[in-house]
Amino acid sequence: MAGGLRAESMHELPLMPMPAHIEQRGSALVIDGAFRIAVCGTRDAILDRVVSRFIARLAAETGLFLPMAAAPGDCSKATLAIECTRRVLPHPSLGDDESYTLEVTAASAQLKAPTSTGVLRGLATIEQLVQAGPSAFAIPAVSIEDRPRFSWRGLMLDAARHWMPVEVVERNLEAMAQVKLNVFHWHLSDDQGFRVESRVFPKLQEKGSDGHYYTQEQIREVIAFAAERGIRVIPEFDIPGHTTSWLVGYPELAAAPGPYSIERNWGVFAPVLDPTRESTFRFLDRLLGEMAGLFPDPYFHIGGDEVLDTQWKANPAIQRFMKAHGLESSGALQSYFNRRVETILTNHGKKMIGWDEILAPDLPKTALIQSWRGQDSLAAAARKGYRGLLSFGYYLDHMRPASYHYANDPLGGGVEALKPEEAARILGGEACMWTEYVSPETVDSRLWPRLAAIAERLWSPASVNGAASMYARLEPVSRKLEFAGVQHRKAQDELLARIAGERPEPALKILASAVEAAGIHERYPAHKYNSLEPLNRLVDAAVAESEWARHLTVDAKTVAANPADDAAAARLREAFALWEGTAAHLEMLGSRSFLAAETVPVAKTLSQLGTAGGTALDFIQKRESAPPGWAEAQLPLLAAADKLTAEVRVAGGGVVRVLIDALGVASAPSGTATGASARK
Amino acid sequence: MAGGLRAESMHELPLMPMPAHIEQRGSALVIDGAFRIAVCGTRDAILDRVVSRFIARLAAETGLFLPMAAAPGDCSKATLAIECTRRVLPHPSLGDDESYTLEVTAASAQLKAPTSTGVLRGLATIEQLVQAGPSAFAIPAVSIEDRPRFSWRGLMLDAARHWMPVEVVERNLEAMAQVKLNVFHWHLSDDQGFRVESRVFPKLQEKGSDGHYYTQEQIREVIAFAAERGIRVIPEFDIPGHTTSWLVGYPELAAAPGPYSIERNWGVFAPVLDPTRESTFRFLDRLLGEMAGLFPDPYFHIGGDEVLDTQWKANPAIQRFMKAHGLESSGALQSYFNRRVETILTNHGKKMIGWDEILAPDLPKTALIQSWRGQDSLAAAARKGYRGLLSFGYYLDHMRPASYHYANDPLGGGVEALKPEEAARILGGEACMWTEYVSPETVDSRLWPRLAAIAERLWSPASVNGAASMYARLEPVSRKLEFAGVQHRKAQDELLARIAGERPEPALKILASAVEAAGIHERYPAHKYNSLEPLNRLVDAAVAESEWARHLTVDAKTVAANPADDAAAARLREAFALWEGTAAHLEMLGSRSFLAAETVPVAKTLSQLGTAGGTALDFIQKRESAPPGWAEAQLPLLAAADKLTAEVRVAGGGVVRVLIDALGVASAPSGTATGASARK
């Protein structure tokens, strides 16, 4: 559905994140059957596997039969010489040197990095540079010196609310490595599920997971998989709230009597651990000890967010304990709990991470604060001497446009006023993917391609911040990510095929390409969901941002400025014609498939937008004014497009709005451009 | 691109293979969150895994959260009761009972089968029946009694000419099970590669595979994977010809002195084993003994095809041996070789299979003949008392239409005159996928969906033979197969994205949807290929049969018969408009991407067909005659569409041909309908 990128971006290389320094040289290195890759400098089995994977993907992309193993020591004769100059890192650690240099000429390419992780980052850059040129596959000649701006560039994935199988995790780790992310924060327990095998307390997974948990062998497999891609794995076990699933098997941990059952609804719930009993800490010591042995990274996340104190307040024994220990509030009790947990983690060699809520006056300075509340909260932590991460502004489940996330800087907002030594405590950030409305099937399309824009924010210089350039590069990078294995584009076709049922319905693809899905805050009130609800509707097939609408909006602006631009007008006309046809097709489909029925009113709006857009375009191209009242009469239609119907918005509304505005009638106070931006 | 199925097929259930007996009841069983599955009768861990996989796929398709494990013994309360009445089969064997009965009412469903394999077959039927209905996902109420017509229903996959990784093999085994195929014939060695780890003779894989071979652990994994899907695995080691890759590591086996290197070209080559030395048979005894231990099925394929005797004739020692042993021809020498190999296999507990060429007067009757030469050759073998399989007519790498393969019956042609006891020796057939022009990336689209039509030929009654019904069911089944994991539809988009390079080009998808790829016999002369040649061009993205052209051909016939059919005319007009636009877009792309350059003349033909089709449609709808000479002037265009360009044909030509014919000008002697059928 999407047209080509526009001319202004044609010569920008499709790199994301953009390297710290890059110079283009105008020629290109051809990749053909004679292309030879060599590895010199320090090497070992891990680095060899890294290079083999790179070669396999390059072979798959170009269709070339390339020797799978790089021969040692013959870098002088190679087309691509890969040199690790200092050391191979067996495991990634916070603060690793990830820098590299890449020199590509028409004759050869040299990738040099002090560490194997630097090599990984450089190979990811090369993969993005490979393109089919006029005469062959080629790598443009460039000189690159690159290093990350932040040392902590992560993704938090919630595997508790919807189960995420190992293959889903691994394909997303692969894609993360492609955009140089280096932390996978795995949210492994919540009210709706406990997702790791514990051998010490097996009822955690047996009673609390519906059978959906990672075995310890699988956890080790994922950690090794991530390590080979330069990605650290940080587990999160959210305590003392968000623990209903723990209490199904171990109700004695709770602050109120059981029995408990796995939570099936979304929200914040009362069940909470009892922090006044020593048995609770003995349990945590053994469990966190077991998990500390399983996860090698020194950091360990204990959540600590959204603790309701209703059970604490209703429990006389807890109230007596608080009085006896001078704990004057529920916050003080949680703070006491956190100190105890911190001691347990320290004994097991781990440093604690928690969400904003763990920040209390007596929190040890070794703790790391992950801020979902915003830069002000993060700045406050940094001023007090804590290191921190930004996640506010990076919640991908909110389904906001990439440009919104891209504009959030870990050193922006309230952080800007920090002294340099305070600012240095901001280690980076993490995108968050909470999965109330996200299934293994839809998670890729909720993560990608927008996560690549966040990856750029965390890697590239702060000065790399133009949204137009970001979008121009995001689209080709998005397609490359599918070659690496994530299915954010393919998954839509499968979902639509199921909605269509027995027969394919092209109009459904047109509709899905012109709408944008609601995020968690809008879906929650729209429809009574719980964890058993199927995520198989138009809203689940739709994405956060319509590429097609974005391109057409550019075309509409072009035509508005220059009615003689026939190419832009032709693309608009083609789109409007396709939109017009959708309603009739989907009415027929809606009578046949229950999943399609709710798309009918959405298609009606899109069809009407097609008609209105075509009419507006006629006026503009004939340089006529619209008849009095015509433009005003379209305003309810534009409003309908911006309103949620079947939990989607019609992004095509923004395109038509531009044309109507061009006719001299302000269609909305802010003159917003797309459905997406109307939500910012 | 493809439109919906036409009305005539709307009420036919999308089943393939069609069951032996089926009755529809008009209502349907709703699948919702209350759907419960139970297993009763005989059960074990394998059957439980079979059912769990079924549930997982049903959950993925419907988006429903279904309990993953079926509780034992509560079939009376289940929505779907699965009962294995006699025994669970730990391994599939030739002649296993694969029958099942399925009774679905609006209230519940009962699947009963005497064996676990029958349960598998029945579950595959249920998966095909599940569809999104007007109010929910549902299974139509049916009564089915089903059993296969032939006991041997296979696919031969050549993993030697192009390497096929384990995941490619496994996802195709999964799809095979969905259409009830039960034999995977794995062509594991040929001139271009020896693909199995031998621990006895490790230089086979070390020198003869470019590093692309299956470890013994992987082989065992694949066999177990296949067994759980009711599929037997038959290995083929092709001897005495087709053995260049063996001779790289073990030149002493050859009939002529080495050294040898892995063959990079396609064709039939001279290297051949020396059958006159005892050391050759000692080698084969140890190797085949090792492989006999690895592959549990009693059948073992030794190839035996296309033996060139140039090395035998040029070797005086071999000629002396032949004279001394009364072997009067090279054929007699091969026959001697086969008898020796047959003895070796018998000693290792195996029964020999070979291609037609092994049939000689002294071949033991235990040998099984696989016929690539045709039904006459197969009938001759059956008359002599040999059991046989048909593969002639099932060569999917020839890229012929599904209807062609579908019309080939193992008991048709020369076999028809057999006596009943002779006909009973025809066990079934095997589709063949030779991979000279097929890569791991394109193999799915070369196998599917056409293999499903062959599967039906081998399972369903001979009377199920209407091509229109077959195609109407093939399309929904094809989409279901992608849910099961094969990527025959998705792979095209990735290939096209790479051809387009940095920016997407919708015109490329339009072009690829309207053309059909050449098969092996046409590609071989068209372009000098070898095994290092990339398979990443338009022809590799194109498929054997264009669904779009098939639908439009039906529309063209409809309009020709009834010019007032506006719906059909509108679909044609939409297609012609899209075709017209392709040339301009692809000319621009061709100047930018070398992979796209060769598509330009193809797009020109398609564009001209769009113009001609639109004009013809105008004449027909206005009930006007074409001006004198107009139709004749279009004939070179139709000829160009049928001609290979860039190794594809423009299937859209068949659509326009129907319209031109309707104007009263016979455009071609046979009045063929589509590009595909022009090749039959």
3-state secondary structure B233-253: EEEEECCCCCCHHHHHHCHHH
Residues of chain A in contact with residue B489, where contact means CB-CB under 8 angstroms, are: 493
Give the alpha-carbon dihedral of A196, A198, A202, A205, to 10 degrees: -10
Are the beta carbons of B135 and A62 separated by less than 8 Å? no
The band of B9, judged by pLDDT with boundaries at 50, 70 and 90, is very low
Residue B28 near residue B138 (C-beta atoms within 8 A): yes
At position A486, the amino acid (one-letter code) is V
Residues of chain B in contact with residue A532, where contact means CB-CB under 8 angstroms, are: 33, 64-65
pLDDT of residue B414 exceeding 80: no
For A66, the closest chain B residue by CA position comes to B532
Interval A355-367 mean pLDDT: 91
Q: Exposed/middle/buried for A607, CB within 10 Å: 0-12, 13-18, 19+? A: buried
For A30, the closest chain B residue by CA position comes to B594
pLDDT of residue A614 exceeding 80: yes
Tokens 């349960």 label which residue? B119
Interval B618-636 mean pLDDT: 94
pLDDT of residue A256: 97
Interval A475-495 mean pLDDT: 92
pLDDT of residue B71: 60
SS3 A29: strand
Where on the phi/psi map is residue B495: left (φ > 0), alpha (ψ -120 to 50), or beta? Answer: alpha
pLDDT of residue B166 exceeding 90: yes
Residues of chain A in contact with residue B535, where contact means CB-CB under 8 angstroms, are: 63
Residue B431 near residue B172 (C-beta atoms within 8 A): no
SS3 content of chain A, % helix, strand, coil (to 5): 45, 15, 40
Min Cα–Cα distance to chain B from A510, Å: 11
Interval A105-129 mean pLDDT: 97
For A574, the closest chain B residue by CA position comes to B578
Tokens 């998954």 label which residue? A491
Closest C-alpha to A244, from A265, A262, A227: A262
Q: What is the pLDDT of residues B540-581, one digit of tens each?
A: 999 999 999 999 999 999 999 999 999 999 999 999 999 999
Where on the phi/psi map is residue A408: left (φ > 0), alpha (ψ -120 to 50), or beta? Answer: beta
Where on the phi/psi map is residue B338: left (φ > 0), alpha (ψ -120 to 50), or beta? Answer: alpha
pLDDT of residue A1: 35
pLDDT averaged over every residue in chain A: 92
Identified catalytic residue from A145, A306, A422, A587: A306
Interval A482-497 mean pLDDT: 91
Residues of chain B in contact with residue A67, where contact means CB-CB under 8 angstroms, are: 210
Size of interface A-B (CB pairs under 8 A): 130
Q: How far apart are CA B644 and CA B399, in angstroms?
A: 13
Q: How far apart are CA B638 and CA B668, in angstroms?
A: 9
Compare CB distances from B4 to A505, A534, A595 and report the shortest one's residue: A505
Residues of chain A in contact with residue B506, where contact means CB-CB under 8 angstroms, are: 1-3
Min Cα–Cα distance to chain A from B39, Å: 18
pLDDT of residue B511 exceeding 90: yes
Q: Is the peptide bond before B259 cis (omega within 30 degrees of 0)?
A: yes
pLDDT of residue A676 exceeding 70: no
Residues of chain B in contact with residue A502, where contact means CB-CB under 8 angstroms, are: 5, 14, 131, 476
Q: Is A587 a catalytic residue?
A: no
Who has greater pLDDT, B127 or A73? B127
Closest C-alpha to B397, from B355, B431, B354, B356: B431
Are the beta carbons of A63 and B475 separated by less than 8 Å? no
Who has greater pLDDT, B123 or A26? B123
SS3 B118: helix
Of the listed ranges A242-246, B134-138, B255-259, B266-270, the one predicted with least confidence:
B134-138
Interval A356-370 mean pLDDT: 92
pLDDT of residue B72 exceeding 80: no
Are the beta carbons of A1 and B506 separated by less than 8 Å? yes
At position A582, the amino acid (one-letter code) is T
CA B251 to chain centre: 35
For A61, the closest chain B residue by CA position comes to B498
Are the beta carbons of A135 and B3 separated by less than 8 Å? no
pLDDT of residue A668: 53
CA-based Rg of chain B, rounded to a whole angstrom?
Answer: 27
> What would the two tokens of residue A612 be?
């209105």
Prediction ipTM score:
0.75
Give the start-end residues of each E strand in A450-590. 515-517
Are the beta carbons of A532 and B33 separated by less than 8 Å? yes
Q: What percent of chain A has pLDDT over 70?
A: 95
The band of B669, judged by pLDDT with boundaries at 50, 70 and 90, is very low
pLDDT of residue B127 exceeding 90: yes
**Mutation site for A-interface testing, chosen from B471, B503, B585, B591 by largest number of A Cβ within 10 Å:** B503
The band of A135, judged by pLDDT with boundaries at 50, 70 and 90, is confident
pLDDT of residue B679 exceeding 60: no
Residues of chain B in contact with residue A136, where contact means CB-CB under 8 angstroms, are: 594
Compare CB distances from B532 to A14, A65, A479 and report the shortest one's residue: A65
Interval B358-380 mean pLDDT: 92
Compare CB distances from A60 to B33, B131, B441 and report the shortest one's residue: B441
Interval A147-169 mean pLDDT: 97
The band of A549, judged by pLDDT with boundaries at 50, 70 and 90, is very high
Q: How far apart are CA A345 and CA A292, in angstroms?
A: 8
The band of A2, judged by pLDDT with boundaries at 50, 70 and 90, is very low
Q: How far apart are CA A59 and CA B533, in angstroms?
A: 11
**Mutation site for A-interface testing, chosen from B1, B32, B52, B65 by largest number of A Cβ within 10 Å:** B65
pLDDT of residue A3 exceeding 60: no
Are the beta carbons of B594 and A132 separated by less than 8 Å? yes
pLDDT of residue B3 exceeding 60: no
Residue B434 near residue B157 (C-beta atoms within 8 A): no
Q: What is the pLDDT of residues A520-545, one digit of tens each?
A: 988 887 777 788 788 999 999 999 99
Give the start-end residues of each E strand in A100-244. 100-104, 109-115, 131-132, 137-146, 152-158, 183-190, 193-194, 232-237
Which residues make beta-bridge pairs with A109?
Answer: A80, A104
pLDDT of residue A670 exceeding 60: no
For A136, the closest chain B residue by CA position comes to B594
Secondary structure in 3-state letters for B320-370? HHHHHCCCCCHHHHHHHHHHHHHHHHHHCCCEEEEEHHHCCCCCCCCCEEE
pLDDT averaged over every residue in chain B: 92
Secondary structure in 3-state letters for A573-584? HHHHHHHHHHHH
Identified catalytic residue from B61, B306, B422, B533: B306
pLDDT of residue B10: 39
Interval A171-189 mean pLDDT: 98
Min Cα–Cα distance to chain A from B168, Å: 14
Interval A246-268 mean pLDDT: 96
Where on the phi/psi map is residue A87: left (φ > 0), alpha (ψ -120 to 50), or beta? Answer: beta
> What would the two tokens of residue B273 be?
């084993």
> What would the two tokens of residue B506 be?
């919708």
Quote the pTM value: 0.85
For B210, the closest chain A residue by CA position comes to A67
Which residues make beta-bridge pairs with B389?
Answer: B370, B428
